[in-house]
């Protein structure tokens, strides 16, 4: 604690010295003089962040002080409105720093993140635990019928009041002190978890130096591995990393079972190697603190706290839902495992199917059953064409146009920037960053350097959206060629981007619950393999010929292949998340034992590992999905049903349905109750049958 206090004092001293010196040289201290006010990345240095953060903290403190000192009776206009508009500089520097720390980090940014964590935690607590501010917010909330509020303003007021209560504003002075300490420690632990995971992911490479050890691998995979080795200064060798575009093809095609085991084991042991980057103790501490914090705030468990403001509402409902899906999927997964074991036996293998065998034998069965593999379809999924396909869908549905811009600053050469317009009018900026690198965390996500809103005077602020994936990169002789699953990932993140671009709200902030926010992204995946869309973008990268009908038929028919595995590995992770977060007592966990007992409880078969094991489950320890990972499959109920609204009309580009989806879902953001939003679009609540049918489990 002493170190933190000393750092805050020192940082404050440093900050005072920056006031004059940095005013004109620190980009954050001035309006971004760039096209569409995109951050001037080439001018932003690591040294600029901390002074900008500190000035942002000071500005917001001053703004909050003005609200507190206002002698007038609290109203929406003099309390809630200035509160939600406070901290604009802080938001601006936070959005840039957060995005780059995820997509293009370095030692300097990671050091800043560690140092910043306790300061940010204290700043947030100083606001949310301020008695006078809370009394004013509570007064407005208690007198809300007196004010002539719009629907959005009513929701904003309700959310603001509940945010204060859930942040501990109603606690005693003693309990507020306890909460502050917990928040600070949790913030630091989350940062450390993410940095450990990045180090573990980058810390292993499977290096092959004998050509015979490449047996079974397609030429494209071999070329990719050679390019990776070259980037690691290992010319003449082949390298496979723990990034999915590198690892998965090796597991699918390599005849070397021992090497498949080596690579897969390195992947599922990330953060669990009893080294300097081990995450087990961090997880145990986070779990314990979350229970204690929930009790302090009046909840039985962390999941009770989190789920209160979701569509599901309670952990019991989530567990019941996951149980239904699990019971439907597990028999399919067992049948898939049995089919693979039969093939192993038929080929004379003297071993039992293991997790590192699943992709390999699944690929063989898929080839045998459908005469299809990823390498046959990759030539038709050139990444530039896939992006053109998703732009085409957005144009047909919402009338959006995407124009590539090369005159706009970007944070990495891999980034492609597009201006988005409709009817000739500016809608926003979309920046797409597609390829893996050591400075980027794994996975795919969508964020914003600036979210859509109106300023305090009502002027429209247009969004600057960033969309990040880890797709198969190009090589010296081939462009980036994707699997159909990678194409789906692009469409998925693009769905999030559309929600950000088509947002039409007044006030900053506000967010959708985790079990609704994936609807805009997951519905987009339905267009990927629609024949009308494929003929637009699925063209052979060499010949330009459209993907053959017979290949499309195979893709569609194989779409429900291996869904037992896909569903079980996902639900296993969702259940693991819930097992941690339904704990009602703050116990000291042995992470390996807890994970094993949790999976044994549900009968997970040994041939399948959860999609994310505890020690690399970034979603729930550092990614904001704690007690919420179930949300992806919960949203599948919504997206399967929502896409039917288009299909039922006989036109997947039905303008009337698209306009209703934009009006009731995409444009609303967090300004309305999500269930009300969905019913306004669809006219009814969805049921689980749509999900099971969509996955071929019914």
Which CATH number goes with the domain that contains 112?
A: 1.10.1370.40
Q: Which among 243, 268, 293 is the end of a domain?
A: 268
Kindly report, residue by residue over 220-243, the tens digit of the pLDDT.
999 999 999 999 999 999 999 999
In a domain, 23, yes or no: yes
Treating both helix axes as pointing N-terminal to C-terminal, what angle do 591-602 and 280-296 enclose, rounded to 10 degrees? Answer: 80
In a domain, 234, yes or no: yes
Determine whether 349 is exposed, middle or buried from the number of CB atoms within 10 Å of its CB (0-12, 13-18, 19+): middle
Q: 66 with 215, same domain?
A: no
In a domain, 215, yes or no: yes
Contact 155, 509 (CB under 8 A): no
In a domain, 250, yes or no: yes
Rounded CA gap, 352 and 349, in Å? 8
Percent of the chain with pLDDT over 70: 97
Q: Could you tell me how far CA 331 lies from the centroid of its own chain?
A: 30
Kindly indicate the confidence band of residue 23, based on its pLDDT and cuts at 50, 70 and 90: low
In a domain, 515, yes or no: no
Give the global pTM.
Answer: 0.93
Q: 148 with 241, same domain?
A: no
Q: 164 with 209, same domain?
A: no
665 DSSP 8-state letter: I
Average pLDDT of the chain is 94
In a domain, 229, yes or no: yes
Q: 36 with 118, same domain?
A: yes
Kindly report, residue by residue over 600-613, the tens digit of the pLDDT.
999 999 999 999 99
Q: List, as one string, the DSSP characters of 179-211.
A: HHHHHHHHHHHHHHHHHHHHHHHHT-EEEE--G
In a domain, 47, yes or no: yes
Rounded CA gap, 404 and 407, in Å? 9
Residue 5 has pLDDT above 60, yes or no: no
Q: Could you tell me how far CA 654 lies from the centroid of its own chain?
A: 29
Q: 242 with 153, same domain?
A: no
Catalytic residues: 493
Determine whether 212 is exposed, middle or buried from the number of CB atoms within 10 Å of its CB (0-12, 13-18, 19+): exposed
Kindly indicate the confidence band of residue 631, based on its pLDDT and cuts at 50, 70 and 90: very high
Kindly report, residue by residue over 292-346, the tens digit of the pLDDT.
999 999 999 999 999 999 999 999 999 999 999 999 999 999 999 999 999 999 9
The boundaries of the domain holding residue 211 are 204-268
How many residues in the chain? 698
Residue 24 has pLDDT above 80, yes or no: no
Q: Which among 240, 268, 296 is the end of a domain?
A: 268
Kindly report, residue by residue over 198-214, the tens digit of the pLDDT.
999 999 999 999 999 99
Q: 146 with 225, same domain?
A: no
Q: For residue 127, what are its two tokens?
A: 């606001």
Total domains in the fold of the chain: 2
Q: 144 with 209, same domain?
A: no
Contact 515, 574 (CB under 8 A): no
Q: 19 with 159, same domain?
A: yes
Rounded CA gap, 127 and 86, in Å? 11
Q: 139 with 252, same domain?
A: no
Q: 84 with 154, same domain?
A: yes
Helix (H) or strand (E) holding 151: helix 151-166
Q: 23 with 134, same domain?
A: yes
Q: 157 with 216, same domain?
A: no
Rounded CA gap, 189 and 282, in Å? 6
Would you state the pLDDT for residue 21?
43
Please give the average per-residue pLDDT across 579-590, as a whole number.
Answer: 98
Kindly indicate the confidence band of residue 690, based on its pLDDT and cuts at 50, 70 and 90: confident
In a domain, 77, yes or no: yes
User: Residue 204's CB: how many other CB atoms inside 10 A?
Assistant: 17
């Amino acid at each position: 604690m002493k170190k933190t206090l000393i750092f805050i004092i020192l940082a404050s001293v440093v900050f005072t010295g920056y006031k004059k010196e940095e005013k004109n040289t620190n980009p954050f201290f001035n309006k971004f003089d760039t096209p569409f006010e995109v951050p001037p990345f080439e001018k932003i240095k690591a040294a600029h962040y901390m002074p900008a953060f500190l000035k942002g903290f000071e500005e917001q403190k001053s703004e909050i002080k003005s609200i507190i000192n206002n002698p007038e009776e609290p109203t929406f206009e003099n309390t809630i409105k200035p509160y939600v508009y406070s901290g604009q500089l802080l938001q601006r520097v936070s959005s840039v720093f957060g995005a780059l720390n995820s997509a293009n980090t370095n030692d300097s940014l990671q050091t800043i993140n560690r140092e910043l964590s306790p300061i940010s935690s204290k700043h947030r607590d100083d606001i949310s635990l301020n008695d006078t501010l809370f009394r004013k917010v509570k007064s407005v909330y208690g007198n809300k019928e007196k004010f002539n509020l719009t629907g959005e303003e009513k929701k904003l007021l309700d959310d603001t009041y509940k945010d204060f209560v859930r942040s501990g504003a109603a606690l005693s002075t003693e309990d507020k002190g306890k909460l502050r300490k917990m928040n600070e420690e949790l913030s630091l632990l989350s940062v450390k978890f993410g940095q450990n995971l990045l180090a573990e992911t980058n810390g292993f490479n499977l290096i092959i130096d004998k050509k015979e050890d490449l047996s079974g691998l397609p030429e494209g995979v071999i070329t990719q591995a050679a390019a990776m080795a070259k980037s690691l200064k290992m010319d003449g060798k082949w390298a496979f990393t723990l990034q999915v575009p590198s690892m998965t093809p090796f597991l699918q095609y390599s005849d070397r079972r021992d090497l498949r085991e080596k690579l897969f084991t390195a992947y599922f042991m990330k953060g669990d190697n009893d080294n300097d980057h081990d995450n087990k103790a961090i997880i145990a501490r986070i779990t314990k603190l979350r229970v204690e914090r929930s009790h302090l705030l009046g909840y039985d468990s962390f999941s009770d706290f989190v789920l209160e403001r979701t569509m599901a509402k309670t952990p019991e409902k989530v567990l019941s839902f996951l149980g239904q899906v699990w019971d439907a999927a597990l028999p399919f997964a067992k049948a898939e495992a049995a089919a693979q074991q039969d093939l192993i036996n038929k080929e004379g293998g003297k071993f039992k199917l293991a997790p590192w065998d699943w992709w390999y034998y699944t690929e063989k069965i898929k080839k045998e059953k459908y005469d299809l593999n990823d390498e046959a379809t990759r030539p038709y999924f050139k990444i530039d064409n896939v992006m053109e396909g998703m732009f085409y869908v957005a144009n047909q549905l919402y009338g959006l146009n995407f124009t590539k811009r090369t005159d706009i600053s970007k944070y990495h050469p891999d980034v492609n920037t597009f201006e988005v317009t409709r009817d000739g009018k500016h809608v926003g900026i979309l920046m797409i960053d597609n390829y893996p690198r050591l400075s980027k965390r794994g996975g795919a996500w969508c964020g914003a350097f600036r979210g859509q809103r109106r300023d305090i005077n009502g002027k429209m602020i247009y969004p600057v959206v960033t969309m990040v994936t880890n797709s198969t990169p190009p090589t010296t002789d081939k462009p980036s060629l994707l699997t159909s699953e990678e194409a789906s990932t692009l469409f998925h993140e693009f769905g999030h981007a559309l929600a950000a671009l088509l947002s039409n709200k007044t006030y900053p902030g506000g967010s959708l619950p985790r079990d609704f926010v994936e609807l805009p992204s997951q519905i987009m995946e339905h267009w990927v393999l629609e024949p009308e869309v494929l003929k637009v973008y699925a063209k052979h990268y060499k010949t330009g010929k459209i993907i053959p009908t017979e290949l499309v038929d195979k893709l569609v028919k194989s779409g429900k292949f291996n869904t037992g595995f896909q569903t079980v590995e996902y639900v296993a992770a969702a259940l693991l998340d819930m097992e941690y977060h339904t704990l009602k007592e703050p116990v000291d966990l042995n992470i390996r034992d807890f994970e094993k007992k949790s999976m044994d409880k549900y009968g997970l078969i040994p041939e399948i590992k959860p999609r994310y094991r505890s020690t690399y489950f970034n979603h729930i320890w550092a990614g904001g999905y704690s007690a919420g990972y179930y949300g992806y499959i919960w949203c599948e109920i919504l997206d399967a049903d929502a896409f039917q609204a288009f299909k039922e009309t006989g036109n997947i580009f039905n303008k009337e349905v698209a306009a209703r989806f934009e009006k009731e879902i995409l444009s609303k953001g967090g300004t309305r109750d999500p269930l009300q939003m969905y019913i306004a679009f669809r006219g009814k609540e969805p049921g689980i049958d749509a999900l099971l049918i969509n996955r071929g489990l019914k």
